[in-house]
Structure 1
Amino acid sequence: MNDAIAGVPMKWVGPVRISGNVAQVETEVPLATYESPLWPSVGRGAKISRLVEAGIVATLVDERMTRSVFVRAKDAQTAYLASLEVDARFDELRDIVRTCGRFVELIGFHHEITANLLFLRFSFTTGDASGHNMATLAADALLKHILDTIPGISYGSISGNYCTDKKATAINGILGRGKNVVTELVVPREIVHDRLHTTAAAIAQLNVHKNMIGTLLAGGVRSANAHYANMLLGFYLATGQDAANIVEGSQGVTVAEDRDGDLYFSCTLPNL
């Protein structure tokens, strides 16, 4: 079979103005999509960012990559004792991870026991890489060391689905996976009126009714937003990133406030 390529139309939108603790930049952004209205829609938002001196203020709150393993024990008490032993050996486990590469570092772990199963969710920093494979290699080394040195447990799986990768879950939003980013924009009332043709109060009310109450009724998981996934998928496809990670990227919370006529608008995305 001949190699084939699926082409997706792409356009650059913006520029968008961004400031904060990781970037001070005004740049265009590539979006690949068949949903052509996405380009002018994002472009309108980018234009608003340039009308505000600070633009969109992006704060990187946390950054980590996770991989969970699970082991079997004879019973829950044995699993519990094993979890205490893992915790006591944290510095030892950090040294194991440092042998796996120059850029991977163990920064924490979380455990959960169900019946006789012990799930261990390891968190790593992975330099500039997203770090999925790096975290898996490190977790594999940790699992081997734990099985060799802690009695009463046996191999379960190198991935216990408690990480969690490409699934909409609560744990990523609570404990973090990938980049946890908060973006904020304060739009003066004149721009809200002249450019958005509405008021801050109307946007704030709609956000509560639609994004918060509507999502609550739908049973959303760690979400209160309109459609983060639209723009993220376009960006992921344009830049060659793993498109399946929009599952986590679709989670997040939009907040809108009326501040004496000015519009405070914020998006919190904990799983980028």
Structure 2
Amino acid sequence: MSLAEDLAERVREGEIRLHELEDHTDADAAATARRLLVADESGADLEATGAYAFDAAVAEPNVENMVGAVQIPLGVAGPVTISGGALSGDRYLPLATTEGALIASVNRGCGVLDAAGGANARVTKTGMTRAPVFKTDGIVESEALAAWTRDNADRLREAAESTTSHGEVTDVTPYVVGNNVYLRFRYDTKDAMGMNMATIATGEACELIEAETDASLVALSGNLCTDKKPAAINAIEGRGRSVTADVTIPAEIVEDRLHTTPGAVAEINTRKNLVGSAKAGSLGFNAHVANVVAAMFLATGQDEAQVVEGANAITTAEVTDGGDLYVSVSIASLEVGTVGGGTKLPTQAEGLEILGVRGGGEPAGSNADALAEAITVGALAGELSLLAALGSRHLSSAHADLGR
């Protein structure tokens, strides 16, 4: 009997718990033992799941009870010319997806962007947030806490920043609802996505608040942050990075490459992305920005659940005075990082290397800004391609031709 088989049997007999296997062997053997156990009890064939190409120990900070890895096909779109505040030049965009025709569509959009001279992109606002909720005796005490917060901003900043050598508090905004006070801390987390950084730092600030006021901390997150849920506050105030990419495409390129007209694209965008989304009560006024955000998140090791906030995007399209097509995509809350989390995994690190943004940037924060700009340009390419496909009525035929 192999070591893995022996360990699996010991778990089955209750001698060892499933999560304790790494205490008895290395990470790869522990994963093998779990895989044997799960395969035996479920009847599943986990051969492909066990055929991963990295040391399981690398993934220990990212996953518990590891049995293997799920492999998602990775493709590239581009190259596309990006003129950003942090990223400039020609870049291939890495996208991990199981949706056929997605990369082909983004690739077509990239080609049109390039034919128009490339896309511009800028990060317009930065700040990861965490918003604890405090309980008070009522509105008088709630307003007193809000006032105390404003009067002691420097002390709160000092307490929070004592926990990190990288994060900086940029503001703390109080929101009062009866005997509830929410304090929305915003941080510049440099090249880290920064959720853990913000949480730990805010916890330290909360200890100061409880020590010096009559308020009681109810929860370190009061959902006004807002993380991994649709929220108007993120669409309005931003979270992570607020980014815009835009392009002006000559009318002849629209007609020759996209087989439609600037007017048709602009009308579809208004009636579909703006009016249709408003009627639906949507927080995202776009065609499929989440597609590119999700695919590039998976390819570069981002927190995939934060695609929820990444879909907070508005696409605009209009005909210029000269008859050309202006298109923009503004993503309000794109939460990305190039250090920490899943960015350390080998294949995801390679995805960042494709873009040239792996690790910390110089100056700090510039690599995460660059990643945000690349994702937004990819979203712009995807929006342009889909709107044009609708304008030329080629959407269904394109999927049919690709066998999807």
- TM-score (normalised: structure 1): 0.97
Aligned pairs for 1:184-199 within 5 A: 184-199=246-261
Does structure 1 conserve the Cα–Cα contact (< 8 Å) formed by 2:121 and 2:243?
Answer: yes
Q: Which has the higher strand share?
A: 1
Tell me how many residue pairs correspond in the alignment. Answer: 269
User: Which amino acid counterpart does residue 323 of structure 2 have in structure 1?
Assistant: G
SS of residue matched to 1:120: strand
1:1-32 Cα shifts (integer Å, max 9, x gaps): 22121111111221111103222121101111
Aligned-residue offset at 1:98: 2.2
Matching of residue 17 in structure 1 with residue 81 in structure 2: yes
Equivalence map 1:1-272=2 (5 Å): 1-2=34-35, 3-53=67-117, 55-150=118-213, 152-221=214-283, 223-259=284-320, 260-272=322-334
Could you tell me how far 1:127 is from its partner in structure 2?
A: 1.1
Q: Shift of residue 170 of structure 1?
A: 0.5
SS of corresponding position for 1:195? helix
Superposition deviation, residue 154 in structure 1: 1.0
The Cα shift of 1:166 comes to 0.6
Answer whether contact 1:199 1:261 (CA < 8 A) is retained.
no
Q: 3-state SS of the aligned residue for 2:132?
A: strand
SS, match of residue 271 in structure 1: strand
Amino acid at match of 1:251: N
TM-score in terms of structure 2 length: 0.65
Does the CA-based 8 Å contact 2:116-2:253 persist in structure 1?
A: no
State the Cα distance separating 1:100 from its structure 2 match.
Answer: 1.1
Q: In structure 2, what is the Cα distance between the partners aligned to 1:228 and 1:248?
A: 11
Tell me how far apart the structure 2 counterparts of residues 244 and 238 of structure 1 sit (CA, whole Å). Answer: 14
Contact 2:80–2:91 (8 Å) recurs in 1: yes
How many angstroms apart in 1 are the aligned matches of 2:297 and 2:123?
19
Q: Is the 8 A contact 1:67 1:163 kept in 2?
A: yes
Q: Distance in 2 between matches of 1:42 and 1:73?
A: 51
Report Cα offsets for 1:216-272 as digits up to 9, x if no partner.
111112x21001101111111111111101101111111001012210000010100
Give the percent of matched residue pairs that are identical in Structure 1 and Structure 2. Answer: 37
- Structure 2: any 5+ residue segments left out of the alignment? 1-33, 36-66, 335-404
Question: CA contact under 8 A between 1:69 and 1:158: conserved in structure 2?
Answer: yes
8 A Cα contact 1:237 1:243, kept in partner: yes
Q: Secondary structure at the match of 2:308?
A: helix
1:94 Cα offset (Å): 1.4
Partners of 1:183 and 1:62 lie apart in 2 by: 14
Structure with a larger share of its residues in helix: 2
Q: 1:180-232, CA deviations, whole angstroms, 9 ceiling, x for partnerless residues?
A: 001110001110110011111111111110001110111112x2100110111
**RMSD over aligned Cα, in angstroms?**
1.0
Distance 1:102 1:84 in 2: 28
Distance 2:258 2:225 in 1: 40
Deviations along 1:138-160, one digit per CA (max 9) or x if unpaired, are 1100101111112x211211111
Secondary structure in 2 matching 1:268: strand
